[in-house]
Structure 1
Amino acid sequence: MKQGIAQDQFALLANVDRSYYGKLERGERQPSLALMLRIAGGLGLPASEVLARVERLLAGAV
């Protein structure tokens, strides 16, 4: 989802270390549930919506 802000700015919004967030984006790390909640908050979306979008993306990749 594009928010029109830089990765480091978003990481700050979501209270996530910038370098760790970069690893999440590249698929090098898997977020915990607590981190998913912070990321959803940074996106301004309910966590359920973020997870539903990920589920749809993964279903299309199979």
Structure 2
Amino acid sequence: MGTRETIGWNLRKLRVEQGLSQERLALEAGIDRSYVGRVERGEENVTIDTLEALSNVLQVPVGRLFAELGPDEDRPLPMRAGRKRKDSTSK
């Protein structure tokens, strides 16, 4: 696995663990949502500034995005699609 794929895998894993959508992560990092998707798929050559913005939103050191993956590590599961349900008691 190449460096771009490793960064993408780690980014997605951290984002999903924190319950953030690509859209929310992108908004808080000040980047385009579709760009986040391309980074997660390993299609983008990300700048240091972008890595720093993403790690700040995720509240992790930039180095966590470069962590090597174990050979038996599973790909992060996708988040449930769609909007969160509103509480049925609130109006």
TM-score range, shorter chain: 0.7 to 0.9
Which residue matches 2:67? 55
Task: Tell me the matched-pair count.
Answer: 56
Unaligned runs of 5+ in 2: 1-13, 72-91
Asked if residue 35 in structure 1 is aligned to residue 50 in structure 2, the reply is: yes
Larger Rg over CA atoms? 2
Identity of aligned residues (%): 36
Deviations 1:3-61 (A, max 9, x none): 1021101111111111111100111112111111001001011223x24xx2322xx46
How many angstroms apart in 2 are the aligned matches of 1:36 and 1:5?
16
Of the three residues 1, 4, 26, the one matched with 1:11 is 26
Give the letter for the 2:68 counterpart. R
Give the letter for the 1:39 counterpart. L
**Root-mean-square deviation (Å):** 1.6
DSSP 3-state at the match of 1:16: coil
Give the letter for the 2:45 counterpart. Q
Unaligned runs of 5+ in 1: none
Which residue matches 1:44? 59
By relative contact order (CA 8 Å, sep 6+), the higher-ranking structure is: 2
Asked if residue 26 in structure 1 is aligned to residue 14 in structure 2, the reply is: no
